[in-house]
Structure 1
Amino acid sequence: MYLRAIHAEPSIRALFDFIKENPLGILTTAIASSSHPFIQSSHIPWVLDEISEDPDAQIKGRLRGHMARQNPQSKVLAEAANANANANSSISSTGAAAQLQQDVMVLFTGPHHHYVTPKFYTETKPSTGKVVPTWNYAAAQVYGKATIYYDAAAPETSDYLSRQIHDLSMLCETSVMGHTGQEERPKPWMVADAPERYIEVMKKNIIGIEVVIESIGGKFKMSQEMGAGDRQGVVEGFGGLGSDVGDHLAGLVKERGKMKDDAKQKS
């Protein structure tokens, strides 16, 4: 990810919060396979375990996820894990799980993004015409090593998946759906609401993935590179779209512009 200084988010705390608010991340791997593509990606909802906000810390956190065993990317991960178990090749194995030596990448994006027309730049366009279109968006990117829980018969895999399914369900039920059971809100759906035997069968159809976060970066590209007059034009332009996306982005452009101006005054 290109992290231009004016758009980059330096705070790991802010990036952690962004991931928690947007837990659906795209896992990308590059693993050689005789029957599947070398580069593969899958959308996966993740649970974030925070460890350190120190940018110099070797491990900043962990992402826990799972995906269908029939997913071609799962098949490649399982192939690599089995190859290690049999030959101790490019992966260090713990028996029921295996850690890939290759880096993996997980990309998270905010739900609101939009094209920015040069017509929004009410200061520069009329005076010089030297403006071009762009796109405003927010994203965070994680790099690290992945441990794959692939052995469906292993207790270690079962324990990992039980914890993962419970934690992910609670995260989505409470944070995404607002099912807290408080102040007349509905109670959250619980894994225990489903038959135990059914859950055990479902667990055998998925693999677990745990990514140790070694590097994290992100950006809020919200017109900070523009002058105050043009930024105000973007705020008004987005606000005039009459949509939830436009209103949300107008607020972000205003917020990030103020952060830029405040930082400039302090320097």
Structure 2
Amino acid sequence: MFLPDVHAEPDTEVLFQFIKENPLGLLITGINSTSVDFLQCTHAPFVLDLPNAGDNTTPRLRAHVAKQNPQVKAMIETLDTKPSETITLDQEVLVLFNGRHDHYVTPKFYTETKPDTGKVVPTWNYSAVQIYGKLSLYYDSKTPETGAFLGKQMHDLSEQCERSVMGFTGDGDRPQPWKVSDAPERYVELLQRNVVGIEIEIRKVEGKFKMSQEMRPGDREGVVKGVSRALTQVGVTCMGIHLYVPRQ
């Protein structure tokens, strides 16, 4: 990721909060394989585990994906390990999280600089966070370790999405969240046999908030108004369009 100082976000807590608010990540690997492409990617919602205060553990990401996924096949093919064991890849992996709002920025939005000098060009505003880390694969749901991992992962992910994404908290007139235990036990066991668990020890996290903060105040205001107007015209909700104030 290209990180000019004006766009880079150095605060790790802000970056982790971004992941919590945008949990759908793109898992990217580069693995030599005789059967699938070297570069593989998979979209998956992640759970972020942060250490408690005073705890020396490393932040981790958790997810689960289909066992028949070509990316999983590449991981298994290149390792001299029994599939029933937990597998740790030698290569680092990359996970990319994108913000929910991005938009093309026409020079017409720069209402201060365009009339003054005309020295403006189009761009695209967006936000993104990426992590590098070591991936462990939980392959066989019949083993106690993998079974426990998948059970916790499915429970935590459904809780996260039901409560944070859907707002199903059971408070007031809000519905109760769906729980994994609401599904038949044998059905859940069948699903677990057909997925693998993924745990990533985070080694590096970096993020970028490209929101025209390098532009003059009038231009930034013009971008906010212009994007909001453009989204309204096409019937898209304007939630999340805001002015990113540059750090002094």
- Cα distance change, pair 158–113 in 1 and its aligned pair in 2 (3 A): same
TM value normalised by structure 1: 0.86
The one-character-per-residue Cα deviations of 1:88-117 (angstroms, maximum 9, x if unpaired) are xxxxx9x62011110000000011100000
1:84 and 2:83 matched:
no
CA offset at residue 58 of structure 1?
9.2
Matches within 5 A, 1:140-159: 140-159=129-148
Code of the residue aligned with 2:125 in structure 1: it is N
Q: Is the 8 A contact 2:141 2:150 kept in 1?
A: no
Q: 2:33 is paired with a residue of what secondary structure?
A: coil
1:44 and 2:44 matched:
yes
Code of the residue aligned with 2:207 in structure 1: it is G
RMSD: 2.2
The one-character-per-residue Cα deviations of 1:216-251 (angstroms, maximum 9, x if unpaired) are 000111000101121121122123225376734541
- Cα distance change, pair 242–115 in 1 and its aligned pair in 2 (3 A): closer
- Cα distance change, pair 124–249 in 1 and its aligned pair in 2 (3 A): farther
Residue aligning to 1:89: none
Give the count of matched residue pairs: 246
Q: 1:100 is paired with a residue of what secondary structure?
A: strand
Matches within 5 A, 1:1-80: 1-51=1-51, 60-80=58-78
Matches within 5 A, 1:1-267: 1-51=1-51, 60-80=58-78, 83-85=79-81, 96-243=85-232, 247-248=238-239, 250-251=241-242, 254=243, 256-257=244-245, 260=246, 263-264=247-248
Unpaired segments ≥5 residues, structure 1? 87-92
Q: Is the 8 A contact 1:59 1:213 kept in 2?
A: no
Q: In the aligned structure 1, how far is the partner of 2:181 from the partner of 2:237? A: 40
TM value normalised by structure 2: 0.93
CA offset at residue 53 of structure 1?
9.6
Unpaired segments ≥5 residues, structure 2? none
Q: Percent identity?
A: 52
Q: In the aligned structure 2, how far is the partner of 1:115 from the partner of 1:211? A: 33
